[in-house]
Amino acid sequence: MKRCLILFAAYNGAKFLRQQIDSIRNQTYTNWRLLIRDDGSNDGTVEIVREYCEMDDRIELILNDTERHGAFLNFWQLIDIAYHGEDYDYYFFSDQDDIWEPNKIERMVEFAEEQNEQIPMLFYSDMKIIDGANNIKLAGLNEVMGIGQISGYTEFYSGGYFWGCCIMLNAQLFKLIPPIEASNRYIDIMSHDNFYAKLCLLTGKVFYIDETLIQHREHEANHTKGYRYKLNPFAIIRKCFAIKQLSKVHANGFRQTLVAFDHFRKNGIDLPIMHEIEACIRKGGFKGLRLLKKHGFKRYQRSRTIGFKTVVLLKSYKKYLKRTES
């Protein structure tokens, strides 16, 4: 039975914590270890996790006793511990407020084993969106955002396909290069799922499993609150007039790609396509649009495609990109 490691970032998650840990403990696949790192909670989260550690020796708690905190940093610290620790066959990431379907691990491991390839691989599934009362708000993310239909190199420009809670990495991908160091000044904006998705698209294979294997909770306190999955006509019009905000969002996405590329190069991965993508980001304008076309850029929702290309054509993101570099 393959060994699986689940990296679980926690912070003031007491309200939903038990549901998520229970959903992991109730998995049909049992050969897993759960590593939970608390980022300085003061709401009883640590006490709850300690209860589970007493009940299940597959669960381990790590406390952040430093002065540095943050959701992305918390995951990167977990990744660093796992990277330098004992080896596992597959690696998962877990939010503190979701609910995993009972067969999530079993299904993903089964699918991975069917590929029978010793190369870097990333697997991801569809997910339901639920609210704080476990009511289903969206039956599947793929039906509205087309997360299973990546076009060309779109992920390097505009995210929205790979959600950390839905992905599984094989050991060849997870161990390919060291994680980003905590000292990196951009670590607070660099999402781990974004990083590994780009790394795998460049060096291995990505597989989409068209099944909803997780219930992702959207509520006022979590990191993805306010994310718009569906864009109604009013939202589209508002986005067109909110070019400043849209430019800031895309500048942040571009920055993540540039940070990832810099780290890849430091670790011996430097491919021609990386230079083309970087040129598109740096130049923008008509040159940027030509490269987007060459790279097959296309979002499932036409309005997102139009909005993105408008920002690139106007180069309105560039001043925000420069600010992050200063």
pLDDT in tens, 236-275: 445 555 788 899 999 999 999 999 999 999 999 999 999 9
The 8-class DSSP code of residue 39 comes to -
> Between 233 and 141, where is the model more confident?
141
Q: Is the pLDDT of residue 10 over 70?
A: yes
The backbone torsions φ and ψ at residue 192, rounded to the nearest 5 degrees and listed phi first, read -65, -40
Task: Count Cβ atoms below 10 Å from residue 89 Cβ, excluding itself.
Answer: 17
Q: Contact at 8 Å (CB) between 54 and 79? A: no
What's the pLDDT at 230?
A: 55
Over its C-alpha atoms, the chain yields an Rg (Å, rounded) of 19
The band of 161, judged by pLDDT with boundaries at 50, 70 and 90, is very high
The DSSP secondary structure of 236-279, one letter per residue, reads HHHHHH-HHHHHHHHHHHHHHHHHHHHHHHHTT---HHHHHHHH
CATH class label, 4-217: alpha beta
Nearest to 260 by CA among 183, 323, 197, 176: 197
Mean pLDDT, rounded, for 68-92: 96
Mean pLDDT, rounded, for 133-142: 95
Q: How does 189-218 read in b/e, with b if 16+ C-beta sit within 10 Å? A: ebbbbbbbbbbbbbbbebbbbebbbbbbbb
Percent of the chain with pLDDT over 70: 91
The angle formed by the CA atoms of residues 153, 154 and 155, to the nearest 5 degrees, is 95
Mean pLDDT, rounded, for 277-304: 95
Mean pLDDT, rounded, for 101-120: 96
What's the pLDDT at 160?
A: 84
Rounded mean pLDDT of the chain?
92
Mean pLDDT, rounded, for 126-141: 96
The backbone torsions φ and ψ at residue 116, rounded to the nearest 5 degrees and listed phi first, read 50, 45
Domain boundaries, the chain: 4-217, 233-325
What's the pLDDT at 65?
A: 87
The 8-class DSSP code of residue 176 comes to S
What's the pLDDT at 220?
A: 63
Percent of the chain with pLDDT over 90: 85
The band of 226, judged by pLDDT with boundaries at 50, 70 and 90, is very low
Residues 6+ apart with CB under 8 A from 169: 90, 91, 121, 122, 123, 196, 200
Least confident of 46-50, 234-238, 285-289: 234-238
> Between 220 and 65, where is the model more confident?
65
> Between 44 and 65, where is the model more confident?
44
> Between 235 and 199, where is the model more confident?
199
